[in-house]
Structures are given as structure tokens and as C-alpha cells.
Amino acid sequence: MNLNPDFIADHNAAGQTQHQRKLSPWTDSVEQAEAVIQKLVDFQIAIPSWALGTGGTRFGRFPGGGEPRSLEEKIADVGLLHALNRASGAISLHIPWDIPTDPQATKQLAASYGLAFDAVNSNTFQDQPGEPGDSQLSYKFGSLQHVDPAVRRQAIDHNIEVIRHGVSLGSKALTVWLSDGSCFPGQLNFRKAFERTLSSLQDIYAALPDDWKVFVEYKAFEPNFYSMTVGDWGSSYLYANKLGPKAYTLVDLGHHLPNANIEQIVAILLNEGKLGGFHFNDSKYGDDDLTAGSIKPYQLFLIFNELIDGMDARQMNHAQDLGWMIDASHNVKDPLEDLLQSVEAIQLAYAQALLVDRAALDEARDANDVVRAQEILQDAFRTDVRPLVAEARLRAGGALNPLALFRQLTVRQQLIGERGAKTVATGL
Amino acid sequence: MNLNPDFIADHNAAGQTQHQRKLSPWTDSVEQAEAVIQKLVDFQIAIPSWALGTGGTRFGRFPGGGEPRSLEEKIADVGLLHALNRASGAISLHIPWDIPTDPQATKQLAASYGLAFDAVNSNTFQDQPGEPGDSQLSYKFGSLQHVDPAVRRQAIDHNIEVIRHGVSLGSKALTVWLSDGSCFPGQLNFRKAFERTLSSLQDIYAALPDDWKVFVEYKAFEPNFYSMTVGDWGSSYLYANKLGPKAYTLVDLGHHLPNANIEQIVAILLNEGKLGGFHFNDSKYGDDDLTAGSIKPYQLFLIFNELIDGMDARQMNHAQDLGWMIDASHNVKDPLEDLLQSVEAIQLAYAQALLVDRAALDEARDANDVVRAQEILQDAFRTDVRPLVAEARLRAGGALNPLALFRQLTVRQQLIGERGAKTVATGL
Amino acid sequence: MNLNPDFIADHNAAGQTQHQRKLSPWTDSVEQAEAVIQKLVDFQIAIPSWALGTGGTRFGRFPGGGEPRSLEEKIADVGLLHALNRASGAISLHIPWDIPTDPQATKQLAASYGLAFDAVNSNTFQDQPGEPGDSQLSYKFGSLQHVDPAVRRQAIDHNIEVIRHGVSLGSKALTVWLSDGSCFPGQLNFRKAFERTLSSLQDIYAALPDDWKVFVEYKAFEPNFYSMTVGDWGSSYLYANKLGPKAYTLVDLGHHLPNANIEQIVAILLNEGKLGGFHFNDSKYGDDDLTAGSIKPYQLFLIFNELIDGMDARQMNHAQDLGWMIDASHNVKDPLEDLLQSVEAIQLAYAQALLVDRAALDEARDANDVVRAQEILQDAFRTDVRPLVAEARLRAGGALNPLALFRQLTVRQQLIGERGAKTVATGL
Amino acid sequence: MNLNPDFIADHNAAGQTQHQRKLSPWTDSVEQAEAVIQKLVDFQIAIPSWALGTGGTRFGRFPGGGEPRSLEEKIADVGLLHALNRASGAISLHIPWDIPTDPQATKQLAASYGLAFDAVNSNTFQDQPGEPGDSQLSYKFGSLQHVDPAVRRQAIDHNIEVIRHGVSLGSKALTVWLSDGSCFPGQLNFRKAFERTLSSLQDIYAALPDDWKVFVEYKAFEPNFYSMTVGDWGSSYLYANKLGPKAYTLVDLGHHLPNANIEQIVAILLNEGKLGGFHFNDSKYGDDDLTAGSIKPYQLFLIFNELIDGMDARQMNHAQDLGWMIDASHNVKDPLEDLLQSVEAIQLAYAQALLVDRAALDEARDANDVVRAQEILQDAFRTDVRPLVAEARLRAGGALNPLALFRQLTVRQQLIGERGAKTVATGL
């Protein structure tokens, strides 16, 4: 379905008075307001193609209806989100699920929604029995780490194929998340697994176009439950550093051991020039893949606080120089509603972090004034920045309240009407 | 396939000399040796029907071959294990996957392998679209906790149906594991969810035969990632206590928060007369469902140390008065080999715990002699009790080395020959 | 030092215009505003006497200056806090550090600051060599759990003595936090330790006045590193339930295993009528005893969300029917500043939780509308309620910005002038 | 006190028959037995000077008696341990507590006990008010990370001073453990703290003799509870790598987040040529500093399994090319008894790891035979290697059973007689 722009205009007109009342204290008296709004307008968060359908666990999956059945429908779903919030202007594809048969047409379709193609993702954590020629060798015992060079070769070739698809669509980055690891003590020689994985990554790196990046994602556990071969930021850094200047670490918020200080990891990687991008989500226990900001919103704010500090110190462009993507699993919510919630939570955290009085913070730190430093961050976090985010949407052509409009327009019911109640998004 | 007893006899004959050399220091000079061997002979660990096939994660599943395609083949597989180790003399069924169409025939089949039917397990964590009449209402938002009384009724009826199947096979216990909970703050009213769940459990309890037990299993997280309605032993105890004398808590080793002292939980529950049984497995991160004893063998020993202390204090029968069951997921191993490893690890831990010098331990504790108390436990744990476990198998008619014989007899290859390479065990 | 009320008046006058500008959107258009303000006025959080000095770790302590050297100076410090925020109207004493020599005079002194005496705390986690007659027997291996009845007797008598001191000052509750447990497997018989501890608690319970409560605090680990004899809420509940209707569980936010869902524990205990009170603080790793709300402010809000739901369901009085206390350790901040920050964070969380639209939340839950339920909580949490808390302070006679005024008045410098730069608060 | 060698001879004579009975199956039929015994003879574990007295927590300390009051008495205590087990042939000093006033005499004293001086340790986590000239500037807000260059300078100079003391005694390594970090979000600019710390370390590195190493120890949390500036192996690696070839990472087993796979970290660091040494202890919750092998003995074995694999791959000398040290805190045990237990547990793990059939393991791994790989490690771990360790002690001149002899000789009582019952070891 396509969203009739009139609907958004009507929605905004209806909410304009109330919005202005909340916004005016900002525009009237807060000097940074305009700058923050502009940065919010510029800030886009990519939507992964696999997050458009209902997710599940090993215990089951409870699908909803109207899920996208094809790449075209996935693009349409992201287009819908972007029409509503004007902050989801990119889609991140997952191969082999999203292979474009006619890249030019696919690019045009995406462009018609105002969407770019973000990082492309390879998949070597599953066998693909349905795809002839694909995965004739099994990844049961790993892919890039595998003891069998033929399996490694297959996995390397798959990644190079993914790059090729990405090139055809205008992507500029490859994300490599490996489930490689081991489930039991003894299964793996850690040392050799590291060397084999590095060697495989080097082969992939060699196939990377000059203007591309490769993101080496790490994860502490799952689906391997004893060791992961790219298990923490230290490992990812080692790989990225050995690969070369186009290789970076990608941080997924759910991929850490309990209590990890993720904001510090972000700061260190940025300082080393090796932070590549982000997978946003939230979690309480493991890689729970919950809506961004739904469990630990202060942590999300603190991460943005480090991102801004580090990017500004390196004169990086907030909107362009890191990869921003959501990676969540929507088990009990409408995926599109969940994504709207995630994007908004990320924008709020970004806006609050932009409000931090950095000069005062520096001063407090230089004086070891811990109380004051804490107050400065809390002041920003306790501020209600929803009017700024709404204004940014408004200026960019989106809806004041995307979620409310989504419901009011009965989008899901229409999608069910178009696609059926029993659809299953490809790749899930 | 049936195991030709001659194979076991041959295997044992071939290994007898070496076995006797290792055993004789025990039988020659260790007074308790005979008693320990006899207790090992008596000790049986139930095998769950769902652990006979390859398990998986939400990221994928890499099936092996020759997996059981029916209840009869599952019984045959457990029969095979039991023939090899004489310690797996019971099977635990999961409804709706294992509904017996002819209970008498099923009982006879099991009896032909020397197997009893352990606790039956209900399943309200998945919808069963294929089963007409079943799960017409969805468990997406819980079962016994559900806000809709019709869903609760369906789940209650399912549990009562499971009891009925269990009665028909001679089971004496129902295990209720609930995935009920919530994924996001706000989703659930904890208080009301508790009350609804309690009320549902009371309806199930009312349908329990006089000589049955119901086990209320708890789990800290997964598949719900914010709250679980039976989330810890304290909650399970509250439910079991309110239900009545036939209700008990069931402990699954993988269902705890990081660093939990499970052996202390076991001791407390036993002391309250509310420990019902065990699901054995091992884990490093969460409910990893790895082979028992593969990650934290000392913890397994310490748990048995508490079990023996507590059961002896209450004059309970080790072999009969608690439910012993494995609950593991075999993602990268042959399921039958993995189960043989789990049973052996449990037997080793039990044997070591039987060797603890309890009089000396009491004395050390009464003197606050921490060093000595630690030494006493370590002495038992550092002892190589494999000859005792092998001897128990030998006396019970099993194989000296079940795993070696399993491989030597190329059991898996034969199962693949019988059942095919692409089978998928029902329920996975 | 006493705070000249004129200072507060001047401070408030100076900030009045700005405050009114922020407050007026509330009082103009938010119906609940007045009710929330009144509840905030009524809500008092007790300050523990040991939190008035610089805390430390086993690695060291870096004291500040001007710390209170006597019970009288501790009362004066809390009086100062209360004068500033009008929300710290009680002090919680720790015996043997705070034994009142002239209880009547002590009561009068406290009353002169508007302070009541909250729960009294016993101490059996240290030996007190300096106190003749006290601790002649060591608590090295526990107190109420000790194998030696004489040690248990000493610890019981100490607790009864603490009650006596509390009675003399008008306290109405005893908090028992036990460090009892074990550091090594084998050290303790969990079962017997439980029974001995219960028996000791029963002796203390017997000495409790009719209108008193006893709070049984639990803690997962530290200072014992293998087991704690009151280690989780389940254990605490068992003790409290066996003791009788005057016994309750006390929840300290830092006393849990990683990732515990504390808000659910609170809801369950409230529902059982066994929640007694709270020790507020925050933590990232263990019992870090950081400023309330400084690490996980959303968790603090969610806890208050459950408290309000549960207390309202039982028609409890928010301000009176549970014990509210801070328990933090100020290692790198001025203790008084830190306490001001903690009290404010608690008030903000309480105010936000009061704003939750409970009727809408019930409706969303009944419809399994997870998205909406999350939105309702987030709406409340994202609201800037600082004007309401400031207004509550103003109406109660406190300062619009206590921390700013504390600094402006150079309170710490004056305390150093009065008490010296090298003071060490008793009990630290 | 000095241990009369006759006592050891008598003890060994009394136990010889029983020992031989247990040893002979090894020497009769296990080919590797001799090689393992020899490696055990060569393997020495350094004892830190601060572990010779009773440790404590922030909640208290319960000292025993007869603790060493001086550097000389500390050396005597380690000498005693070494006389008993012949595996504690080095002492690791902590400055400023152990400053040698006459290094030559100190060296001679140590030599008289057969002791070498292991890594020297600096201390910038406490202020030392008693030491004139030392710590006039406070480390409350860090040392090498401090915003004030004068504090950094003081800390750098202290480390250089520690090197100087080490040189005077024949040490060859400096261990830098930093408590630097922050307790609250906002307190620290992570980026700048990293850079300042690196710069300080570079100054120290510049003062390192050519044949010295510097070990950069990391720790996840405590005493700072929000961030640690050298918080994980990745950070430590970054520092060590930037410093140069003499800088290495030091792994303390208790310094990780929950569930960390330490054996994998060890393998990666070894593979990078950046593993410098070890602090052995055990823990359940955090940096609990419990006796090595008392909680997770299988983990200790797995670590040694990686150490042997990695050191052999790099042709390193097990006994010499890494720093082996205990770092434990004895809160409820006699420190010397506890250290004897730790050393034995380390030796057992080392011996078991030496027994791993590495050729078979390689083969199993190359075949993805997870079951077999697990069996190979478990076979080694389930083997009772106590006779090998006892034999190694015997051959080296130590006691068959050091702990039993320690008690039989009433060593502690004699130390109390010599030193008094109320001594407190310096530095605690």
C-alpha cells in the first residue's frame, strides 16, 4: 500500500495546535533547538528486511498477518515507515532472502519511497536447502572458521556474492555476523579457528570495492553456547585491525555479557577509528532483540552521549559516517508499530544527548565534580524532547504522531487485506 | 532397531580385564564401594521424548539422520540407550507430540525395553495449527495467565488431557512448564497474572489423581524476555504451596539468573518438602541445554551433595522419591550419544557425592573448619569413580562403555538406514 | 549547623518566576497535578545514619571533611537535608554506632529538625572489639546461623537490645540484614543454617513489641561469596512467613543477581502482603550502592509503578505503610549532595509513576495491546516532572533547588569549619 | 619459623607405602607419567605478599593470628609454603608495603628459602597518609588517568620507584593494576581517560629495563562501579600493543563479567603474543578472590588446556615464559592453608591438562566429532592425578601432603607464639 500524503497532512493539521504549544517553549527560548531539530531531520536509521515480519524463539513463533512476501513488499513496508516518520530512509537487505532479480527496478522502487540501500548482510548461520547451488555444504560447524576449506570457500563466495548484490543496489557496506563458535569445551581450537576466520575474512576483504566498508559484528553467545569466534569487541577489533582500513567493528546492543558498559566500548572503538556502526535494540537477559529504549533508555542515551563526543572529536558527520540500523525481533507486537517505537526511542536519545552541555561537562570533569557531571547528563535525560522530534518529523514531511496515524489509518488491516492473514515474511 | 544382547556381552568380555584392574582397588579396600554400586544400579534417569532428535535455536537447526518419526521409534531409541547403560529406564512424553493411540500397546512396547513412563509434559508454549480442536485460541500472550478466560480454559483442558494420557500409560506426575510472561514493561499486570495462573493451576490440580504429583517448573527468562510468570524458585514455591501437598517445584539447571547458587536452592526446597524433581543439563549463559556436566561438573556434584544430604535427612529413597530427568538440546551432536554422555556425567556426580565423608564433614562444619570441609568435598570430587559406574552398568546388564559400543555397532548408521537421512523428530 | 530559613526563602524568591513558568502548564491543564504534588509532599524517605560519611571499598576509602562525629551531628546532617528538600524527614540508626545515651534528649533534638526515627538496624557482620561486653564472640562464621549457640545468643541479644533502643526513640521497626553465609562449598550445611537462622529470628520476633515490624533483608552475595543464608526474596519470604504477621521482606535494589526483574519481585511480595520496605540505591554490577536512579532510572520508575499498583490494590497508604529508606555508599561524592540527588531521583520516579494512566493501561492489557501498554508507561516516564517535585518542596517549606542552595550556602565548607577536615563518621 | 627438614622426611616416610600404591599404576603403565612429574617439579607459582594475612571486605575483617608483620616475616611464610610444597618458589611484592630497606639482605634471606622475586606490584588505589612524601596528592579520582598532571606524575614516579625496588631484588616484571575508572555516568571522558592513561603508561614503560616486562592487568568492575579504565582484555591489549614489545596483558580469573569465556581470552592473547601472566583465584560472583579451583575446577583445567596448547605452539617454556601468581583473599581461612590448597588445585589442573591426548583431540576437531573432543577433555579431567602431584613434591623435597603436615606440625600455633595473636599483616 502507498500512504496518501493527504492523510499525513490532515493528521498534522489536527495536531498542530497542541504541538505548537509544546514546541514553543523550545523555539522561544532554547538556543540549540533549531540545530537539534536539523540534526534530527538529517538522522536516518536503516530498517533490516528481516524485521518486517513477526519474529520468534526456538520455542515457537506466533505470526501476525499482512507480512511482506517479497523484496518488493519489504521495500514497501519500509517506505511506509519512512513516509510516517521520515527517519527510516534506508533498508538493509539479507541475502539469500532478498536477492534482487532486477536490481535497476529494485533501486527505482526504493527511490520512489525515498529509500537508500544500507549495509547488505550475508547469512552463513543457516543451511539453505531450497536454494540449489547454495549451501550444499553445511554450516553446522561454522562457516568462515570451518575446518574444511571447501566450507570456508563456500562461505567466502557467498559473502562476495552478497557484495555483488549490494553493488548492484548502491550499498556501500557489508555486515558480517558470524554464528561461528562452539557448543562444548574441546570442540574448537580457538587459536586455529581465529586464524581460519581471519584468513576467510581477508579473502572477502580483498573483494571489497574501494569505497566500501566491511563491518565485523561480534556477539557473546547464541547460537553457540560455549564460545563465539567473534565473541567480543576485542576480538572484532583484532580482526578489523588486521584486515585494514575498510574494516570496522559493528556494535549490536544485545551482544554483550551481563552488565557490560557498552558506552565505554563505543568510546574506545571510536577513539581507535574502528567503530563502524550500530544495531539498535534493547535487552534484559541476552540478545533479546526488544524494541530500542524499551528496557534501558538511559543506557541508550549514554551511548549517544559517547557517540556525539567521539564523532565530534573526530569531526565525523553524525548522519553519514557511521552505519545506523535497527536489529530487533518482534515476537509479540506488530513489526511496523514496533519499528516506529524503536526509531522514536533512538531519536529521543539522540536529541537528549545533543542537549548535553558539553562545555559545562568538561569543566565538571576537570574539577572532578562528580555530582555536577551526573547532574548535567541527568538534566538532558530528564528533559522532554518529544516536541523536538515531532517537529523534525513535521519539517521532513512526516507525521506528528506516526504510531497514532498508523493505527488510525488501519494500515495493518489493509496489509492483511492485500497480502493475507497467513503470510510469513521470507527469511523468518 | 533392537540391540542384540550378545554384542553387549562381547563388548564387556573384551573390556573385562582392564575394567577389573581399575575396579579392584575399590572392591578390595573401599568399604562403601558395594553400597555405591548398588545405588548406581538403582538410579534411573528419564529421557524426554523431545531430546531424541537434533535441537536448534531461533537461528537455525542442522538435523542429523535417523531421528525417530513416531512415539514407537522414540521408545525404541530410549530402549536402546537403556540397553546400553541400564540407567535410562524411563521416558518422559510431551503432549501433543506423543499422544498414544493405543495406550496398552504403547505400555507393552515400553515394557519390552524395560522402560517406565515418567512425568508427562504439557505444551502451551506453541500453537498447534495442525491439530484440529487444539489451540484454536492462540497462546501468543500466554496460557494459564491469559487475560481471556477461554484461552485459560483451553490450556487447563489441555493439561487435564495430558494427565489422562499419562494415566493411560502409568505415569504418576505432570510437569507444567509455562512460557507465560511478558516481553515489555507494561505488558502484564504481574499481580493479576499471578492470580490467574494460580487459579488455572488449581483447576489442573483438582483433576490430578490421588497418587499423582504436579511439578511446577520455573524459568528466569526465554521465551519471554522481560518477565516470566513462574520465574524463580520463590514463585514456584508460592504456587506449589498454595496448590497443596501434591504440588512440587521442579528445578531445571539452566533456568536461573547468572551465578545463582542452585545447590542452595535445592537444599532449601528439599527442607521445605517441596522439591519435586530435576531437569538435568548444563549451561554457560542461559538455558543453553548442553550435556549434563559438560560445563560445570563441580556444580553438578555439589547439587548431588545437597540432594543426598537432604533426602537422607528426610529418609527419602534416592531412586524413587524425586523425579530425575534430562532436558537438553542436541544441536551439534548425535542426540543418542549426547544422552549417553549426560547420563554418565550424572552418575559420576552421584557416585562422587555418595563418597563424601558426611560424618567428617559434619565435624568440620561444627568446628568452622572451612579448609577441612572444602577438602572433604574436593577429595570426593577428585576421585575417579568411573570404575564404579562401569561396574554398576555391568551388573545391571549394560555395557562397560556405552558410547564406544554405540559407535562400534554403527547404531546411527543403522537408524539412518531404517528411518532415512532426512527425518525430523516430531515435536522439533 | 542550622540552616537559616531566610536563605531558603531568598533562594525560592529568586527562582520563583522561572519555576512558575515551568509549573503553569501543569497546574493550568493537568488534572492530576494537584494530587501528585500533595502525594509528593507527604512522601518521606529515611536517611540511614551510616550514609552521612564517605564510604569505601575493601581497596580503600577517600574521606572528605566535615563528616558527623556523633549521633547528634548525624541528626543535624539529616535535619539539614530535610530543611532543604522537606522529603528526608526520618533517620534510620545503626547500633552499636548510634546508641543514644539520653533517648529523650535525642528525640527532642530530632523533633527540632522535624525528624522521626525510622527502622533501627542491628549489626552482626562485624566484631566490635572496642565495645566492652559486645562481640566477645566472633561473627567470623556468621551470627544467627552460627553453629555455636552462644554466638547465636549474643546476636539475638544484640538484636533485642537494638529493639530496646528503637523503642526509646519511637522507632517502629527492626531491620535485620545478615551477612551470614559461606565462602566455600562444604563450609555450611544449608539446611541446618536455615533452621538455626529461623530459630534465632524467632527469638528476636518474640521480643518485638506489638506495634513493631521486623524486616528480613536478603542479599545475593557479599560479604560471603559462595552462599548467603538469606540470599533471595524466596528465602526471605520463607523466614518472614514462618515468623508471623509482623515479619516482612525488605528489598534492597542492589541485592540481586544480574538481570533480576526487581519490579516483579516487588509485585509478588506486595500481593502476598509480605513486602515491608525498601532500601534505595542503584548499581551496575553488584551491591554497588550508587545514587538512586543514577544507572537505571527506568527500573526505578517501573518499581514505583508496581508499588503504586500493588499498594492501591491493597488500599495501603503510600507514605506510611511501607518503609522507604536510602542505602547508598558515597565513595566519590559529598555524602549530603549524593543524598539530595537520591531523594530527588526517587521523587521523580514516584511522580512519573503516579502519572501513569492506569485505566488506559488496564484496557491495553486486557486487549493484549503490548505496543499501547509500553507507550503508556513511556509517556509517563518521558514526561518532565521536575516542576512538580520542585513545587512539592516549595509548598512543604523546602528549597526549589536543594543542591544548588547547598552549594551556594557553602554548607560543606562550614561543616568542615565546625568539625574539621579529617573527621571520620562513626561506623565507617 | 623454619621447618625442620626431618619433619618432612618423617611425614613422607610414614605416607610412602600408601603413596606408592597410588602412584604405581602411573609409573607402571602410563608413558607420559615421568614427563608430567618433571613438568610439575619445574612449575612454580608465586605467592603475593598481601595474601599472607587475613583479607576482608568493606563489611569487615576477622583477623587470625600469627600474621607476618614485616617483609622478612612474609618471606619466611612463603619459605614455609615452599618448603612444604616445593611449588611456591617466588614471592611477589607490593610497594609501598614491602619496601626493602637492605635489598641485598632481603635477597639473601629469600635465597635461603629458595625463593626468587616475581613481579613487583605498584599501588595507586589507596592514599598512603603514613608515608611522608608518598601520596600527598590523592588518588580518589584515579591515578594514571587523573585529570591533574601532577597526580599522574606522582603515580608514574611511584611505578618507576617500584621498578627500582624490583631491580634491587632481581625481579623482572612490573604488574600495573589500576583501580582507575568512574562511579557514575558523566564522571569521566572515556576517550580522554584512555589517552591520559596510555601516556602515563608510556612514561613508565620508558623507565623499564631492557630485560623487564610490564603486565597491564584489567578488571571489569570494583572499586569503580560504573567504568574501569582498563576494564577488559580488549582495552588491556590496546594499551599493551601501543606500549611495545615488553608490555603484556595479565589475566586475573576474577576480573571478568559474568559467564566470560576466560579460556578463549587466554588463547587469543597467547596467539597474539600478548599474554604476560596470570593471577589465580576463583569466584562465583565477582572478584571474590577465593581459593583457586574451589568453585569452577573445570574452568581452571580448560584454561590450562589452552595455555599448554598455545605455549607449545609458540615453543614457550611452561615454567618460565609466563608469570604465574596467586591473587586471593583469605577471609575465613588460615592464609597459609588456603595458599596450599590453591597451589595444589593449580598443579592438579596443570597435570590434567598435560594428560590431554592432543593428537586425538586434533583428529576429533578435524572431523567435527564434538562428542569425542568432549570425551578427550573429560577423560583427562576425570583422572585422579593427585599421585602425580604428590610424587612431584616428593622428588623436589616437599611433603606428600603439605596441608596435613602443616596442621600436624601446628605451624599456625607456633607463628602465633612467635608473632602474637593480634598481628595484622602490613598492607591489609
Mean pLDDT score, B168-192 = 98
- In A115-144, the residues whose Cβ lies within 8 Å of chain D are 140-141
Compute the distance between CA of residue B395 and CA of residue B387 in angstroms, rounded to an integer: 12
* CA closest to C258 among chain A residues: A258
CA angle B217, B214, C240 (to 5 degrees): 65
Q: Do C333 and A371 count as a contact with CB atoms less than 8 A apart?
A: yes
CA angle C231, C233, C239 (to 5 degrees): 80
Q: Do A373 and D184 count as a contact with CB atoms less than 8 A apart?
A: yes
Site from C134, C255, C332, C428 to mutate, D interface, most D CB atoms within 10 angstroms: C332
Residue C411 grid coordinates: 554548607
Query: What is the enclosing helix (H) or strand (E) of C326?
Result: strand C323-326
* CA closest to C22 among chain A residues: A25
Compute φ and ψ for B104, nearest 5 degrees. -60, -45
* CA closest to C254 among chain D residues: D225
| DSSP three-state, residue B380 | helix
- Contact of C28 with chain A, judged by CB distance below 8 Å, is answered with no
* Sheet arrangement for strand C47-48: C47-48, C90-92, C116-117
Mean pLDDT score, A230-247 = 98
Compute the distance between CA of residue B199 and CA of residue B177 in angstroms, rounded to an integer: 16
- In D187-206, the residues whose Cβ lies within 8 Å of chain C are 187
- Helices within A43-189 (DSSP H only): 71-85, 103-112, 149-169
- Contact of B284 with chain A, judged by CB distance below 8 Å, is answered with yes
Per-residue pLDDT tens over the stretch C372-401: 999 999 999 999 999 999 999 999 999 999
Q: Return the half-sphere exposure (C-beta side, CA atoms, 13 A cut-off) of residue B129.
A: 6
Compute the distance between CA of residue C63 and CA of residue A133 in angstroms, rounded to an integer: 70
How many beta carbons lie within 10 A of that of residue C18, not counting itself? 12
Whether the per-residue pLDDT at C74 is higher than 70: the answer is yes
Q: Do C384 and A381 count as a contact with CB atoms less than 8 A apart?
A: no
Q: Taking the alpha carbons of C182, C186, C189, C194 in that order, is the dihedral positive or negative?
A: positive
The DSSP 8-state label assigned to residue B49 in this structure reads G
Q: Do A370 and D298 count as a contact with CB atoms less than 8 A apart?
A: no
Which pLDDT score is estimated for A125? 95
How many beta carbons lie within 10 A of that of residue B67, not counting itself? 26
Site from B378, B386, B401 to mutate, D interface, most D CB atoms within 10 angstroms: B378
Tens place of pLDDT per residue across chain D (428 aa): 678 889 999 999 999 999 999 999 999 999 999 999 999 999 999 999 999 999 999 999 999 999 999 999 999 999 999 999 999 999 999 999 999 999 999 999 999 999 999 999 999 999 987 655 555 899 999 999 999 999 999 999 999 999 999 999 999 999 999 999 999 999 999 999 999 999 999 999 999 999 999 999 999 999 999 999 999 999 999 999 999 999 999 999 999 999 999 999 999 999 999 999 999 999 999 999 999 999 999 999 999 999 999 999 999 999 999 999 999 999 999 999 999 999 999 999 999 999 999 999 999 999 999 999 999 999 999 999 999 999 999 999 999 999 999 999 999 999 999 999 887 666 65
Per-residue pLDDT tens over the stretch C202-221: 999 999 999 999 999 999 99
Q: Given the DSSP bridges, would you call strands A47-48 and A90-92 parallel, antiparallel or unpaired?
A: parallel
Compute the distance between CA of residue B126 and CA of residue A238 in angstroms, rounded to an integer: 42
Which pLDDT score is estimated for D427? 61
Whether the per-residue pLDDT at A132 is higher than 60: the answer is no
Q: Residue B79 — very low, low, confident or very high, per pLDDT cuts 50/70/90?
A: very high
Query: What is the enclosing helix (H) or strand (E) of D387?
Result: helix D386-396
Cα B343 to Cα A185, B293, B405, B412: the distances in Å are 18, 9, 15, 18
Q: Do A297 and C381 count as a contact with CB atoms less than 8 A apart?
A: yes
Work out the minimum CA distance from A344 to partner chain B, whole angstroms. Answer: 16
Which pLDDT score is estimated for A109? 98
- Residue B17: partners with Cβ closer than 8 Å, 6 or more residues away: none
- In D375-414, the residues whose Cβ lies within 8 Å of chain B are 375, 378, 381-384, 386, 403
Neighbours of chain D (3+ CB pairs under 8 A): A, B, C
Q: Do C238 and B268 count as a contact with CB atoms less than 8 A apart?
A: yes
Name the residue type at position B318.
H
Q: What is the ipTM of this complex?
A: 0.97
Q: Taking the alpha carbons of C95, C97, C101, C104 in that order, is the dihedral positive or negative?
A: negative
Compute the distance between CA of residue B152 and CA of residue B168 in angstroms, rounded to an integer: 24
Site from D268, D270, D302 to mutate, A interface, most A CB atoms within 10 angstroms: D268
Compute the distance between CA of residue B312 and CA of residue D406 in angstroms, rounded to an integer: 34
Whether the bond into A245 is cis, omega within 30 of 0: no
- Contact of C65 with chain A, judged by CB distance below 8 Å, is answered with no
Per-residue pLDDT tens over the stretch B235-291: 999 999 999 999 999 999 999 999 999 999 999 999 999 999 999 999 999 999 999
Per-residue pLDDT tens over the stretch C133-181: 555 899 999 999 999 999 999 999 999 999 999 999 999 999 999 999 9
Q: Which residues pair with A325 in a beta bridge?
A: A46, A279
Neighbours of chain B (3+ CB pairs under 8 A): A, C, D
Which pLDDT score is estimated for D424? 67
Compute the distance between CA of residue D328 and CA of residue B239 in angstroms, rounded to an integer: 42
Compute the distance between CA of residue A203 and CA of residue A212 in angstroms, rounded to an integer: 15
Average pLDDT, chain A: 96
Whether the per-residue pLDDT at A181 is higher than 70: the answer is yes
Neighbours of chain A (3+ CB pairs under 8 A): B, C, D
Compute φ and ψ for B4, nearest 5 degrees. -70, 120
Q: Is C221 exposed, middle or buried (0-12, 13-18, 19+ CB in 10 A)?
A: buried
Q: Do C370 and A333 count as a contact with CB atoms less than 8 A apart?
A: yes
Q: Residue A423 — very low, low, confident or very high, per pLDDT cuts 50/70/90?
A: confident
Q: Which residues of chain C are within 8 Å of residue B227 when distances are taken between CB atoms?
A: 261, 264
Query: What is the enclosing helix (H) or strand (E) of D15?
Result: helix D5-29
| Better-predicted residue by pLDDT, A49 or A131 | A49
Compute the distance between CA of residue A201 and CA of residue B39 in angstroms, rounded to an integer: 54
Whether the per-residue pLDDT at A368 is higher than 90: the answer is yes
Whether the bond into B245 is cis, omega within 30 of 0: no
Which pLDDT score is estimated for C424? 67
Which pLDDT score is estimated for C423? 72
* CA closest to C234 among chain B residues: B234
The proportion of chain B whose per-residue pLDDT surpasses 90, expressed as a percent, equals 95
Which pLDDT score is estimated for D164? 98
Which pLDDT score is estimated for C21? 96
User: Nearest CB to A368: which of D147, D260, D309?
Assistant: D147
Whether the per-residue pLDDT at A2 is higher than 80: the answer is no
Q: Do B222 and A125 count as a contact with CB atoms less than 8 A apart?
A: no
Cα B248 to Cα B18, B215, D350: the distances in Å are 44, 5, 43
Residue D282 grid coordinates: 576463583
Q: Could you tell me if residue D63 is left (phi over 0), alpha (psi between -120 and 50 degrees) or otherwise beta?
A: beta
Which pLDDT score is estimated for A284? 98
Work out the minimum CA distance from C22 to partner chain A, whole angstroms. Answer: 9
Q: Which residues of chain C are within 8 Å of residue A338 when distances are taken between CB atoms?
A: 371
Compute the distance between CA of residue D200 and CA of residue C371 in angstroms, rounded to an integer: 51
Q: In the block, which residue shows the cell 619433619? A: D7
Mean pLDDT score, A287-302 = 98
Per-residue pLDDT tens over the stretch B105-148: 999 999 999 999 999 999 999 998 765 555 589 999 999 999 99
Chains A and C form CB pairs within 8 A to the count of 61
Per-residue pLDDT tens over the stretch A395-416: 999 999 999 999 999 999 999 9
Whether the per-residue pLDDT at A169 is higher than 80: the answer is yes
Query: Is the CB of residue B98 less than 8 Å from the CB of residue B357?
Result: no
Which pLDDT score is estimated for B3? 87
Q: Residue B55 — very low, low, confident or very high, per pLDDT cuts 50/70/90?
A: very high
Chains C and D form CB pairs within 8 A to the count of 107
Work out the minimum CA distance from D106 to partner chain B, whole angstroms. Answer: 32
Average pLDDT, chain C: 96
Site from D137, D141, D180, D190 to mutate, A interface, most A CB atoms within 10 angstroms: D190
Mean pLDDT score, C339-360 = 98
CA dihedral B347, B349, B353, B354 (to 10 degrees): 10
